[in-house]
Amino acid sequence: MCTVVSKKSARRSVAAAALTLLVTALTAPLATAVHAEPASRELPTGAVSLSLKEALERAEQRGPDVILAARAVQEARTLRVGAGVVMPSNPRLAVDARPLFTGGPAGQLGYAATLEMLFDVGGAPNARVREAERAGEVATADLSLERLRGRIAAWIAYLQVRVAEMRIAETKSLVGIAERILRASKQRGAMGAAGDIEETLATADLGQLRAAIEAASRERDEHIATLRDVLDLGSTQPVVLTTPLEEPPPPPDRDQLLRRAIDSRPELAQIRARLAFLDARYDRLGKERFPKIGGYVGVDASPANPTFGILGLSIELPVAQRNSGPRALTEAARATETERQELQARRIVREVSALHAAYESRRSELKLIETTSVPAAERTLELVEVGWLAGRFDMFRVATAARDVARVRSARLDALEGAWLARIALDRAAGGTTQ
């Protein structure tokens, strides 16, 4: 009888302790997903605060590759200097001495001098100016492409930093759950309701979560370093991102994106600029075939003869140099660029269509995980934890439920990152016009 009473007393004690832990478990929140910024955030000393818009604008204007492309534009524009000069070469001065050998006093010296100038009169100077202007437009198209690349690189780095920060916050909330389970395990063990295996299992899971925080922090630092490089910031410049990572919005209409892509893709603008440049070059090579006209003046002073002035006109005879080779090469390059333009346009249509469908699929995947997997996993953990505290489940069931919560939350972040990466790829395919 005493044995029965003592067992009942023990069960009552365990039940009372379990009820206390149950109240604690139910009043403690499981975790909150990080979707918004804190109300106030004090910046570290010397830190730069960047919204997503500011980061994209800085990348498009001050990225290292953008700066070099802008310098290339300035170099190309200098081709315009001197291109319209009508004298393609410097004046040529010829001077000769004419010593007297026979027919007069020895020692007398005659001389002759001629100054000749060639002129382009067939329109070649204006053609060279147009060619130089088209070369500047090619460099400007290259600059537009570098700006788009900088924008996309900055957007990806910004996204990855924000995802890493969210992963850190999510893992910290899971650490809170693991710490709560560990405390309950210790209390159950102290009351004799559980063995050491519960505590060791909870300790192992807690250690893995803390290691995951370190890994996520390291990833954040790596992505911050990438963002500094894209934005040309100092190697130790503290960076604070202010734009929260929200749900990706629905994409624009596919046909509308296709029209924008054809109009805005810098690759097509590059091809159009190169075609215009090649047209200008072909025109210039054709006009340079027109013979150059030369005028010359001179003097002829011979010892035994009167001194004569010379005034004459010369004309180039373009019988050998007809620019046939350069013109044939330019014509072949034009055909290549025309074919490239058609191929690129078809490729853009396929790319935008595929990325549009992929983005929609990514958004659907994210919505399913957020509305089904995450709530179900968190509810399962709550119920299993309550049952464990009441003595109906063992610790292994609790550990499995906690790991499922960690897994589906990680899957949600992966899906969120994948959806935004798909959105960025769609923005890139459309020429940077979807943001």
The whole-angstrom separation of Cα 424 and Cα 434 is: 9
Of the chain, the percentage scoring pLDDT greater than 70 comes to: 87
In 3D, which of 200, 202, 220, 222 has the Cα closest to residue 212? 220
pLDDT digits (tens, 9 = 90+) for 119-172: 888 888 999 999 999 999 999 999 999 999 999 999 999 999 999 999 999 999
The whole-angstrom separation of Cα 412 and Cα 432 is: 26
Confidence of residue 274 (pLDDT cuts 50, 70, 90): very high
Could you write out the DSSP letters of every residue in 299-336? Answer: EEE-TTS-EEEEEEEEE---SS---HHHHHHHHHHHHH
- The pLDDT of residue 237 is above 90: no
- The pLDDT of residue 231 is above 60: yes
**151-165, 178-192, 369-383 — which is least confidently predicted?**
178-192
**9-23, 130-144, 339-353 — which is least confidently predicted?**
9-23
Please tell me the predicted confidence (pLDDT) of residue 41: 52
- Specify the CATH number for 87-120+290-322; select among 2.20.200, 3.90.700, 1.10.287, 3.40.50: 2.20.200
**Rounded mean pLDDT of 346-373?**
95
The whole-angstrom separation of Cα 380 and Cα 393 is: 12
Amino acid of residue 423: R
Residue that wins the pLDDT comparison between 114 and 322: 114
Of the chain, the percentage scoring pLDDT greater than 90 comes to: 58
Please tell me the predicted confidence (pLDDT) of residue 21: 41
The whole-angstrom separation of Cα 391 and Cα 4 is: 19
Confidence of residue 44 (pLDDT cuts 50, 70, 90): low
Interior CA angle at 336 toward 331 and 337, to 5°?
100
Instruction: Indicate the domain borders of the chain.
Output: 47-86+121-288+323-429, 87-120+290-322
The HSE-up count of residue 83 (CA atoms within 13 Å, CB side) is: 18
Please tell me the predicted confidence (pLDDT) of residue 106: 65
- The pLDDT of residue 77 is above 90: yes
Confidence of residue 190 (pLDDT cuts 50, 70, 90): confident
pLDDT digits (tens, 9 = 90+) for 25-37: 433 443 333 343 4
CB 104 within 8 Å of CB 304 = yes
Token pair, residue 337, equals: 């660029």
Find the helix or strand (DSSP H, E) in which 287 lies. Answer: helix 266-287
The whole-angstrom separation of Cα 367 and Cα 371 is: 6
- Specify the CATH number for 47-86+121-288+323-429; select among 3.90.180.10, 1.10.10.10, 1.10.10.60, 1.20.1600.10: 1.20.1600.10
pLDDT digits (tens, 9 = 90+) for 305-328: 788 898 999 888 877 777 888 999
The whole-angstrom separation of Cα 206 and Cα 211 is: 9
The whole-angstrom separation of Cα 182 and Cα 239 is: 36
Could you write out the DSSP letters of every residue in 107-122? Answer: T-EEEEEEEEEEE--S
CA 108 remoteness from chain centre:
79
CB 368 within 8 Å of CB 360 = no
The whole-angstrom separation of Cα 270 and Cα 70 is: 15
Confidence of residue 398 (pLDDT cuts 50, 70, 90): confident
Average pLDDT of the chain to the nearest whole number: 85
Q: In the block, which residue shows the tokens 């007398």?
A: 108
CB 31 within 8 Å of CB 176 = yes
- The pLDDT of residue 404 is above 50: yes
**59-68, 94-103, 118-127, 376-385 — which is least confidently predicted?**
94-103
CB 399 within 8 Å of CB 205 = yes
Q: In the block, which residue shows the tokens 């030369």?
A: 294
**61-65, 104-108, 308-312, 325-329 — which is least confidently predicted?**
104-108
Q: Where are the strands (E) in 150-277, listed by range?
A: 239-241
Please tell me the predicted confidence (pLDDT) of residue 38: 43
